[in-house]
Amino acid sequence: MKSQTDRTGFLPVRRDQLRKERVHDTYKLQHKLAEPTVCMECGAVYHAGRWQWSARPAGAKEVVCAACQRARDRFPAGFVEVGGSFFAEHKAELMNLLRRHEEKEKAEHPLARIMAVADTPDGVLVTTTDLHLARDLGEALHHAYQGDLEFHYNEAENLLRVHWRRQL
Ligand SMILES: [Zn+2]
């Protein structure tokens, strides 16, 4: 297995090899989160073992959540490379689908967000604060438009690269 790892530590994986459950992102957390805790940037509340959107509880501790910290550091957990001539022809439609999907995910999982969308020679690179969101964005494209979908996982850093392409 090791020999397949490229310089960056990313290894090809099948989607069924990816963990189903959402792992609590401990990016830059100094210690275990107390309950309740509120993110001083986005207002997400950590309570009952998970992040959620709710009113700020009395006496909440303040931290910067992993998603806001990743955005600050420009250090994504997920990378979705979208490309091919089909994308070029249907860019607005496909970007809409990705945004709608993010909204839906973020409503339930506050730390799952699109961080940035950057143009590439072949399409766009969408970065996310959350690995599951990156996987789901790739699957949403594949579900709606078929095309080629690949995953590369970096286990040491828990990063995921998703490649989706389709030609016309
Ligand atoms: Zn936050």
**How remote is the CA of residue 122 from the centroid of ligand 1, in Å?**
32
Number of domains in the chain: 1
- Residue 105 inside a domain? The answer is yes
Residue 30, both tokens: 């100094």
**How remote is the CA of residue 3 from the centroid of ligand 1, in Å?**
38
- Residue 160 inside a domain? The answer is yes
Per-residue pLDDT for the chain (168 aa), expressed as one digit of tens each? Answer: 444 555 678 889 887 777 766 777 778 777 788 999 999 999 999 999 899 999 999 999 999 999 999 999 999 999 999 999 999 999 999 999 999 999 999 999 999 999 999 999 999 999 999 999 999 999 999 999 999 999 999 988 889 999 999 998
- Residue 154 inside a domain? The answer is yes
Domain extent for 84: 2-10+75-165
**How remote is the CA of residue 70 from the centroid of ligand 1, in Å?**
9
**Interatomic CA distance for residues 33 and 50, integer angstroms:** 10
- Residue 89 inside a domain? The answer is yes
**Interatomic CA distance for residues 147 and 130, integer angstroms:** 23
∠156-158-162 over CA atoms, to 5°? 120
- Residue 95 inside a domain? The answer is yes
**How remote is the CA of residue 49 from the centroid of ligand 1, in Å?**
16
- Residue 46 inside a domain? The answer is no
- Residue 111 inside a domain? The answer is yes
CB count within 10 Å of CB 74 equals: 9
**Interatomic CA distance for residues 89 and 42, integer angstroms:** 35
